[in-house]
Structure 1
Amino acid sequence: MDEKIKVGIVDDHKILTEGLNSLVEESDFARVVGVAHSAQQCRDRIAFWHPDVLLLDVSLPDLSGIDFCKELTTNYPDLKVLALTSHNEYAVVKQMLINGASGYLVKNAMSAEVLAGIKAVYGGEKFLSHEIDVLLKRQSPKTIWLTDRERELLKLVAEGYTNIEIADKIYLSPETIKGYRKNLLLKLGAKNTAVLVRMAFEQKLI
């Protein structure tokens, strides 16, 4: 019985996929079940591969790996996606993880890190390469994610409108606006409206 971790690779750089193929095959715990150079190729073949872990590039020639990650994890809930990419921007990393990726590696990661990532996500853990881990820890406290509605409300608060006036403008009850305002104070860690408005401008949230 084959107990090795079955790995699929999706990347349009053939030299990189060859290197990854060799790396995985030479390990004593994993084997490559398939390689695709586009999202469509992967779609056509993944049902035959039955991979446990998929190494997925964020930049594919026919589709964003971010969108493809969501599609894959929706259609194959047991599949573990390990992003392997040259992108190290906070927003890209965050969106990949939101869309179901179990781990994130940059392409200059050491071979040992790639193998450790495969093992970790297969075992149900999250895995971030050292560079990405540092990036997330550095960015997290400063990066505030607001919904479109929250941004709209923040803009009106900054313009000096009262809860009742805002409620009238965006067709919600004053009670709902009060709740939104309270949430914004909590989200930004502001102790009052004046601080909230100052932070909104400082952090370019509006």
Structure 2
Amino acid sequence: MHELREGPALAVDVVVADHHRVVAEGVSALLAPHVRSVVLVYSASALLECVKPGMVIVGDIDLPDMPGLEPVRRIAERRDGSRFIILSGHDEPLIVQDAMQSGAWAYVLKQSPRNELLDAVRDVLDGHRYVSPGLMAALVNAPPSVHRLTRRQREVLERMANGLRASDIAIELGISVRTVESHRQSLLDLFHVHSGVALVREAIRMGLIRDPGGPYTAARDESTP
């Protein structure tokens, strides 16, 4: 039985961000007795609007109005003392590594014992990084191919998921079609798949990009303009 450690409330204001209201309310109820205040938000835009310097954010990476880890990166770029703790159901090493390298201070699994989140908050306030113990072995044993996607790889991947052809992606990003095709091939090699369809499906399954909600057909899986 894992018990929460008793002690004075931590001198920190927390923002809980999750588009599942029941989850957000549960996390808030867990943290409220142990921190100065808790605010709930359900979207990335609301999160970015309400975060003040020095706050701790406890949030999912599946917010509905911004792809993947973009909110984490934007918070990290502020360099104002606010720190992001990811609370996620995704346990793939690629996602964890990408999250930490994108600026997250901690990565806690939603299925972890309830005391872990408070431990993570305490460690982050003390200036330390935190990763759920159950993830450490997976990170240590991850194959060399598991590494952070570059910003450009992610941009190409997200546009592939939306059904754009290489020529359209090149125009949107201001790069050549040959460069788009090079990024596409590197992503295929990284994920060990042989088609854009399989690549997009795997990226969505791993939570690296959001499901755009529309069909991604073989007809759109073309590397030529």
The answer on 1:20 being equivalent to 2:31 is: no
Amino acid at match of 2:89: S
Looking at structure 2, the residues matched to 76 and 111 of structure 1 have their Cα atoms a distance apart, in angstroms, of 29
Alpha-carbon distance in 1 for matches of 2:102, 2:117: 21
- Cα deviation, 1:61-107, whole Å, max 9, x if unaligned, reads 11124111011110244111111011111111111111110110111
Q: TM-score, normalization: structure 1?
A: 0.63
Query: Quick one: percent identity of the two aligned structures?
Result: 21
Give the structure 1 partner of residue 101 of structure 2: 98
Give the deviation of 1:43 after TM superposition. 1.8
Aligned 1:103-142 pairs, distance under 5 A: 103-139=106-142, 142=143
Look up the SS of the partner of 1:92 in the other structure. Answer: helix
Match of 1:68 in 2: 71
Relative to structure 1, the CA distance from residue 147 to residue 91 in structure 2 (aligned partners, 3 Å threshold; closer, same or farther) is closer
Cα distance in 2, alignment partners of residues 105 and 80 from structure 1: 14
Could you say what the CA RMSD is over the residues aligned between the two structures, in angstroms? 2.7
- Measure the CA separation in 2 of the matches of 1:101 and 1:146: 13
Q: Match of 2:69, SS?
A: helix
- Aligned counterparts of 2:48 and 2:149: Cα–Cα separation in 1: 32
Moved over 2 A (4+): 144-148
Q: Which residue of 2 aligns with 1:143?
A: 144
1:147 and 1:108 map into 2 onto residues whose CA distance is 26
Letter in 1 for 2:12: I
Evaluate the alpha carbon distance shift between residue 124 and residue 61 of structure 1 in structure 2; reply closer, same or farther with a 3 A threshold.
same
**Against the structure 1 CA distance between its residues 22 and 146, is the aligned structure 2 distance closer, same or farther, given a 3 Å change threshold?**
closer
Partners of 1:146 and 1:102 in 2: CA distance: 16
1:44 is matched with 49
TM-score, length basis structure 2: 0.58
State the SS of the aligned residue for 1:101. Answer: coil
How far, CA to CA, are the matches of 1:72 and 1:138 in structure 2? 29
Distance (Å, rounded) in 1 between the aligned partners of 2:49 and 2:33: 27
Find the residue that maps to 1:17 and give its secondary structure.
helix
- Distance in 2 (CA, whole Å) between partners of 1:54 and 1:135 is 25
Q: Evaluate the alpha carbon distance shift between residue 46 and residue 111 of structure 1 in structure 2; reply closer, same or farther with a 3 A threshold.
A: same
Kept in 1: contact 2:85–2:108 (CA 8 A): yes
CA displacement at 1:146 relative to structure 2: 9.6
Q: 1: distance between equivalents of 2:148 and 2:43?
A: 33
Runs (5+) with no aligned partner, structure 1: 149-200
How many residue pairs align between the two structures? Answer: 145
Q: How far 1:137 sits from its partner (Å)?
A: 1.5
Counting helix residues as a fraction of each chain, which structure ranks higher? Answer: 1
Q: Which has the larger radius of gyration?
A: 1
Residues 134 and 78 of structure 1: is their aligned pair in 2 closer, same or farther, counting only changes over 3 Å?
same
Mark the runs of 5 or more structure 2 residues left unpaired by the alignment. Answer: 1-8, 151-188, 193-225
